[in-house]
Amino acid sequence: MKTRAVRLYGKDDLRLEEFDLPQIKENEILAKVVSDSLCMSSHKATSQGTEHKRIPDDVADNPIIIGHEFAGELLEVGAKWADKFKPGDKFSIQPALYYENGPVGILSAPGYSYHFIGGDATYVVIPNEVMEQDCLLAYHGEGYYPASLAEPLSCVIGAMHANYHTIPGSYQHKMEIVDGGKMAILAGVGPMGLAAINYVLHREDRKPSLLVVTDVNQSRLDRAAEIYSVDFAASRGIDLRYVNTGNMEDPVRELKAISDDAGYDDVFVFAPVRPVVEQGDAILAFDGCLNFFAGPGDPTFSALFNFYNVHYAYTHIVGTSGGNNDDMVEAIDIMSRGLDPAGLITHIGGLNAVAEATKNLPDIPGGKKLIYTHLTMPLTPIADFGKLGETNELFKELDNICNRHKGLWSVEAEAYLLEHGAKPNLLNPI
């Protein structure tokens, strides 16, 4: 079977190509990719090429398919896995395999390391190790985009689980955020920050009593408040505050004042910016934990940390990147119980838009860029649908649908696009 895919050949060398997939082996699965969400990690891999820890050294001769936040449908299942999967099953994939015999050892991952599997493709061959590691996950919900966003949601789930606190008088650590505690999400209205807010507000087993979300961009804060409202948070027993620290004379003092000067039990830093990291450290409560979530591109990145407080106030710091299988399963489960990740999505595009969008991702404003791999479509902000709809019937109807869903993408919008988006001339430049 032929596939079209965006392949990496080296630093900033991405090419959209058509090529043949090999016949699947008895321990492999042929799948159709429907959607892929572009991730900043793919931008980092593209900009670093073989210097990236997950990219094989021989990509110039054996290019890999990029994209790791993808969902689709199984088409043909090898005999080894026929008792567990069947054609027609919808799927999501946990890309962090940690498989010892992969192309780059234990760091191998679809979207970074493989020639025939990655999210920015029309069809892929899922290798045996994905199933061996239980990383091929069934998705039974509506649509496809929620399954694409299960991976980024699993990353924030993993971050919450990775925070820890101490039991006084012992050397035991209590993993997890403090139930009923005070939480701050700094630089928290980007795509991953929004995912964290969404998860915190929908979680059943534990939640903070106070959640403070900061940023320096008021329009982004306002949009976040529109999607994840203070009233909804209150109905969940959470006092949610959106705070613009750019308007504060002394952010540390004023943030601590919101916590009644007690500080925050759990602080999550969603931007690799030194002043934000240091701000997070300064607002920690006794036995508080700072999670440095945002992975910096600069290997020399550093910030000051108060080690007096590490010793005498028992403050902690952790860093997380990615979720594990359990986090992915939890992401899919919580979406089946009402969490809709559509608030993360700000742009829609086709496979033709992937290469340029990935290379320039830090410079494209907004949240997640969602790609439908079987469509040819420029990367288009959802906010522009109305204007484009003045001269294009497809965008007009998509705008109408999104307006019925608070301006957000939806299963209804996805179904309409997949049905009508491939028709001739409908997605030509306006």
Q: What secondary structure does DSSP assign to 149-181, as a single string? A: THHHHHHHHHHHHH-EEE-TTSS-EEESPPTT-
CATH of the domain at 382: 3.90.180.10
In a domain, 335, yes or no: no
Domains in the chain: how many in total?
A: 2
- Cβ atoms of 55 and 64 within 8 Å: the answer is yes
Helix (H) and strand (E) counts in the chain: 15, 19
Distances (CA, A) of 23 to 70, 76, 192, 366: 22, 10, 37, 40
Q: Which domain holds residue 376?
A: 1-148+340-430
pLDDT bin (cut points 50, 70, 90) of residue 47 is very high
Say if residue 70 is in the same domain as residue 206: no
Residue 5: per-residue pLDDT: 98
> Is the predicted pLDDT of residue 208 greater than 70, yes or no?
yes
The single residue listed with the structure tokens 């009508």 is 420
Say if residue 4 is in the same domain as residue 121: yes
In a domain, 324, yes or no: no
In a domain, 276, yes or no: yes
Q: Phi and psi dihedrals of 55, rounded to 5?
A: -95, 125
Whole-number Å distance between alpha carbons of 127 and 125: 6
The single residue listed with the structure tokens 């299988």 is 325
Say if residue 425 is in the same domain as residue 347: yes
> Is the predicted pLDDT of residue 430 greater than 80, yes or no?
no
Residue 310: per-residue pLDDT: 96
Say if residue 128 is in the same domain as residue 164: no
> Is the predicted pLDDT of residue 169 greater than 90, yes or no?
no
CATH of the domain at 305: 3.40.50.720
CB atoms within 10 A of CB 401: 20
In a domain, 326, yes or no: no
> Is the predicted pLDDT of residue 427 greater than 60, yes or no?
no
In a domain, 330, yes or no: no
Distance of CA 429 to the CA centre of its chain: 29
pLDDT bin (cut points 50, 70, 90) of residue 429 is very low
Domain boundary among 271, 287, 319: 319
Say if residue 174 is in the same domain as residue 299: yes
Q: What percent of the chain has pLDDT over 90?
A: 85
Whole-number Å distance between alpha carbons of 425 and 350: 14
Say if residue 136 is in the same domain as residue 171: no
Say if residue 268 is in the same domain as residue 175: yes
pLDDT tens digits along 262-277:
999 999 999 999 999 9
Average pLDDT over residues 136-146: 93
Residue 426: per-residue pLDDT: 52
Say if residue 201 is in the same domain as residue 274: yes
Residue 298: per-residue pLDDT: 86
> Is the predicted pLDDT of residue 133 greater than 50, yes or no?
yes
Whole-number Å distance between alpha carbons of 65 and 118: 5
Residue 104: per-residue pLDDT: 83
> Is the predicted pLDDT of residue 222 greater than 50, yes or no?
yes
Say if residue 314 is in the same domain as residue 349: no
Average pLDDT, the chain: 94
Domain boundary among 286, 319, 352: 319
Average pLDDT over residues 70-76: 97
Say if residue 90 is in the same domain as residue 194: no
CA-wise closest residue to 34 among 351, 350, 372 = 372
In our burial notation (b when 16+ CB lie closer than 10 A, e otherwise), range 215-253 reads: bbeeebbebbbebbeeeebeeeebebbbbebeeeeebbe
Q: What token pair was written down for 193?
A: 């920050």
> Is the predicted pLDDT of residue 177 greater than 90, yes or no?
yes
Say if residue 225 is in the same domain as residue 310: yes
The single residue listed with the structure tokens 């990740």 is 341
Distances (CA, A) of 348 to 6, 173, 332, 410: 17, 43, 22, 12
Average pLDDT over residues 17-23: 97
User: Residue 362, exposed/middle/buried by CB under 10 A (0-12, 13-18, 19+)?
Assistant: exposed
Say if residue 114 is in the same domain as residue 177: no
pLDDT bin (cut points 50, 70, 90) of residue 318 is very high
> Is the predicted pLDDT of residue 152 greater than 90, yes or no?
no
Whole-number Å distance between alpha carbons of 121 and 351: 7
